Amino acid sequence: MGAAAGVFAKLWSPQEIKTRFSDIGKGTIEVEKGSIITQNVDVIIGTSSSQNLKNAILDAAGPVARTAYNAELRKDPQPILISIPSGELPCKKIFLIKWRPTHDEGQLRKSIADFVSNAMKYVIEHGFTSVAFPAIGCGDHQCSTELVITTMVKEMIYQIQTQKVLLLVKIIVQAERQDIYEAFCKEIPAVKPGTVYGQGVYFSSKAAYSHDYATPKVNGER
């Protein structure tokens, strides 16, 4: 694991992972304090605007992923989405999606909605059933976190309800950003009182699903 990935994993790895679930139609939205690079999902999402996040993902994924990324950039220097192999990460695919922060609220709202929409549509079109997003714009970019959080969650709910497919969508928040974690949790609708399952706290209208997901299988998968 490279230096960037090591620092990033340290910052994003709490001793106690806390998770909240909310069921939306056939899908589930989950907010978690943790590390994007350790997510055992089908797809993890990164963005080209954050050098720290992008390099942390590529460093942790290893040379196969970085070679694939560089090859895709040579084909198209300004891609909307780059799909690369997961390399040494537990996910199946890595999607790096074009996104640029802005302080214009109208443009920011549209860019975040497009970011989430492009990612989720591509995930669904390729038959994946779980995806993890970073809390984009809630760190060094100094964007309006309220606008970012509201727009991300609204678009995720819209895509789940429109596509009508079984899909787990995770939002991964930096461990030290309790304020961002709580803001996302407040934005998620119909979150019910928590029950302790496995490692962390799980909130869901389907407690059995939460318990099954919290308990790793023999091979470590969930």
Within-domain flag for 140: yes
Beta strands per DSSP E along the chain: 19-24, 27-33, 43-47, 81-85, 93-97, 130-134, 168-173, 195-196, 201-202
pLDDT (mean) for 29-46: 95
Within-domain flag for 148: yes
Return phi, psi of residue 101, to 5°. Answer: -70, 155
Q: What is the span of the domain harbouring residue 64?
A: 26-175
Within-domain flag for 53: yes
State the pTM of this model.
0.77
Question: Angle CA(3)–CA(222)–CA(176) in degrees, nearest 5?
Answer: 45
Within-domain flag for 75: yes
Distance CA 127, CA 195 (A): 31
pLDDT digits (tens, 9 = 90+) for 90-103: 999 999 998 887 78
pLDDT of 1 over the 90 cut: no
pLDDT at 139: 64
Within-domain flag for 84: yes
Within-domain flag for 59: yes
Within-domain flag for 167: yes
Per-residue buried b or exposed e for 1-38, using 16+ beta carbons within 10 Å of the residue's own CB: eeebbeebbebbebeebbbbbbbbeebbbbbbbbbbbb
Confidence label for 56 from pLDDT (cuts 50, 70 and 90)? very high
Within-domain flag for 83: yes
**Per mean pLDDT, which range of 49-53, 104-108, 135-139 is the poorest?**
135-139
Confidence label for 104 from pLDDT (cuts 50, 70 and 90)? confident
pLDDT at 214: 41
What's the domain count of the chain? Answer: 1
**Residue 34 maps to which CATH number?**
3.40.220.10
